[in-house]
Amino acid sequence: MSIWWSLHLRREAASVPLARRLLLGTMETAGVDEDIAYELSLALSEACANAVEHGGASDRRTDQYRVTAFLDGDMCRIEVADHGPGFPAPASPHPAETRRAAPVDTESGRGLHLIEALSDHARFRNRPGDGAVVSFDKILKWREDALLKVS
């Protein structure tokens, strides 16, 4: 079973619960375990809130962000891409390297740590000159009554 959807949302606070509800509805329909669905929806909310807050200036190109969700077999991948300035440069001399979340004791970056904690694998990367992408994966568990259960 595979499900894929993508949303182009305005960088407005009201878009965050819309994306979250669509993900929860997809997970419920597919038969994903409630705890897994909740963790993914919370991580998605954090990624969307980050895109709304930091995703760019208010011009036609940067007033929106994209959310894409893939359910493929027992895996879910979610990506949130914006057109903002991106993540700060890493301390590493390799600029293309995947960014890690900021230290927990800093004011910003806590949502990225939450995304890392709620997912099995998270990546934070910049698209040079075109914003940032937060993507995260989680292995799915299924309810006993799941209609679309893989195994």
What CATH number is associated with residue 114?
A: 3.30.565.10
27-36, 52-61, 63-72, 121-130: the lowest-pLDDT one: 52-61
CA dist 47 and 57 (Å) reads 18
Q: Which of 40, 62, 49 shows the shortest CA–CA distance to 139?
A: 40
In a domain, 28, yes or no: yes
Amino acid 26: pLDDT: 94
In a domain, 51, yes or no: yes
In a domain, 146, yes or no: no
In a domain, 145, yes or no: no
In a domain, 147, yes or no: no
Mean pLDDT along residues 21-29: 95
In a domain, 50, yes or no: yes
CA dist 78 and 147 (Å) reads 22
- The structure's pTM equals 0.84
Tell me the residue type at 70: F
How does residue 146 score in pLDDT terms, banded at 50, 70 and 90? confident
- The number of folded domains in the chain is 1
Query: Which residues touch 144 (CB under 8 Å, ≥6 apart)?
Result: none
In a domain, 149, yes or no: no
Mean pLDDT along residues 82-110: 62
* Res. 66: pLDDT tops 80: yes
User: When comparing pLDDT for 120 and 62, which is higher?
Assistant: 120
**Secondary structure (3-state) at 28:** helix
Q: Which of 44, 46, 61 shows the shortest CA–CA distance to 129?
A: 61
In a domain, 144, yes or no: no
CA dist 39 and 118 (Å) reads 6
Tokens of 113: 């740590």
Amino acid 86: pLDDT: 86
Q: Which domain holds residue 13?
A: 2-139
